[in-house]
């Protein structure tokens, strides 16, 4: 008999070593899969079947979990079943698990005018102001995730004069991102002001205890919130909203969805399709402006 607990352990090692998943991702898969195994009380993978999955889904739903959250558990189980199939271990076919339908989420966006005010908010030539200006410009120019921004080192942008550099994103995948002229200038001004030898691109400043330490995601969230208030933006503004602005700005200017997918680092085009409302809106305006004009004129 195949011990499901041992297979669970081997599966997590497989994710980490062979698939190159981050430790955080492995921890999440561990938690989701452990929850299923504990609920179903299954010891042998051959006992994972439609009925055990149905009961688990019912339990998730009755615990008032959002459909999107329920899908995280189902995806983890499906990937585990694929792993078992790869090893020719008898169990339920992974394709039998269908994900819950989730409504397309609305994007949190700010106007072009609000975005301009945000980017112009950091004033002054002190290190903190120059750093904050560089952070905001870099977020909008590259569409980086906040975790990706925090992990950057100075060496990553040594070739910033060319206007591009590589970043390691989710799933350890490397992609190229591009700098606008204003982002390049903001980075140049900030780095010229730096007098330390810390390798991190963005460091915490203004605190004797935390000088020359890599900035955290939470700190960047606070920086964005601070300048949003300073710019008179009443909406909730986060680094991820700036990432949304990056994508919609490209699409509004005529970029194709595949290119935007590559620049955002999305592994699946369906993730990028949340931005198609931008092009849909443009089509609606074109239709409104030009449709049936000749008939009406006649």
> What gap in Å lies between CA 194 and CA 97, rounded to an integer?
53
> What gap in Å lies between CA 63 and CA 206, rounded to an integer?
45
Q: Which of 145, 184, 204, 244 is catalytic?
A: 145
Report the DSSP beta bridge partners of residue 175.
167
CB 240 within 8 A of CB 169: no
> What gap in Å lies between CA 177 and CA 169, rounded to an integer?
11
Q: Does the annotation count 277 as an active-site position? A: no
Q: Does the annotation count 275 as an active-site position? A: yes
Question: What separation in angstroms does the CA of 197 have from each of 24, 112, 169, 192, 243?
Answer: 29, 37, 25, 12, 30
Q: Does the annotation count 83 as an active-site position? A: no
Q: Which of 83, 190, 227, 275 is catalytic?
A: 275
Q: Does the annotation count 266 as an active-site position? A: yes
Q: Which of 34, 156, 240, 277 is catalytic?
A: 240
Using CB atoms within 10 A of its CB, is residue 162 exposed (0-12), middle (13-18) or buried (19+)?
A: exposed
Q: Which of 57, 170, 193, 225 is catalytic?
A: 170
Q: Does the annotation count 240 as an active-site position? A: yes
CB 92 within 8 A of CB 49: yes
Report the DSSP beta bridge partners of residue 167.
175
Task: Return the H-helix or E-strand segment holding 133.
Answer: helix 127-142
Q: Does the annotation count 145 as an active-site position? A: yes
Q: Which of 243, 258, 284, 287 is catalytic?
A: 243
CB 43 within 8 A of CB 4: yes
CB 237 within 8 A of CB 119: no
By annotation, the residues acting in catalysis are 145, 170, 240, 243, 266, 275
């Amino acid at each position: 008999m195949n011990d499901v607990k041992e297979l669970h352990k081997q599966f997590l090692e497989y994710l980490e070593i062979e698939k190159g998943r981050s430790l955080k991702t492995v921890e999440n898969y561990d938690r989701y899969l452990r929850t299923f195994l504990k609920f179903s009380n299954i010891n042998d993978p051959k006992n994972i079947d439609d009925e055990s999955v149905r009961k688990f889904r019912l339990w998730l739903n009755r615990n008032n979990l959002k459909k999107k959250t329920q899908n995280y558990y189902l995806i983890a189980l499906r990937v585990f079943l694929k792993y078992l199939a790869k090893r020719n271990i008898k169990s339920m076919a992974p394709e039998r698990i269908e994900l819950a339908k989730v409504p397309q989420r609305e994007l949190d966006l700010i106007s072009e005018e609000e975005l301009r005010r945000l980017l112009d908010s950091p004033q002054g030539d002190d290190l903190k102001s120059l750093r904050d200006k560089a952070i905001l410009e870099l977020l909008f120019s590259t569409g980086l995730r906040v975790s990706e921004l925090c992990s950057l080192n100075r060496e990553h942008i040594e070739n910033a004069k060319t206007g591009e550099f590589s970043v390691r994103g989710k799933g350890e995948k490397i992609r190229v991102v591009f700098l606008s002229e204003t982002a390049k200038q903001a980075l140049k001004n900030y780095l010229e002001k730096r007098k330390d030898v810390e390798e991190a691109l963005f460091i915490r400043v203004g605190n004797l205890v935390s000088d020359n330490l890599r900035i955290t995601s939470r700190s960047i969230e606070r920086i964005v919130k601070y300048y949003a208030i300073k710019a008179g933006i009443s909406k909730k503004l986060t680094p991820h909203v700036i990432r949304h602005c990056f994508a919609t700005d490209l699409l509004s200017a005529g970029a194709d969805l595949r290119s935007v997918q590559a620049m955002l680092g999305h592994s699946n085009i369906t993730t990028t399709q949340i931005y198609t409302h931008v092009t849909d809106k443009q089509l609606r305006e074109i239709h409104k402006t030009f449709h049936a004009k000749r008939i009406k004129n006649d």
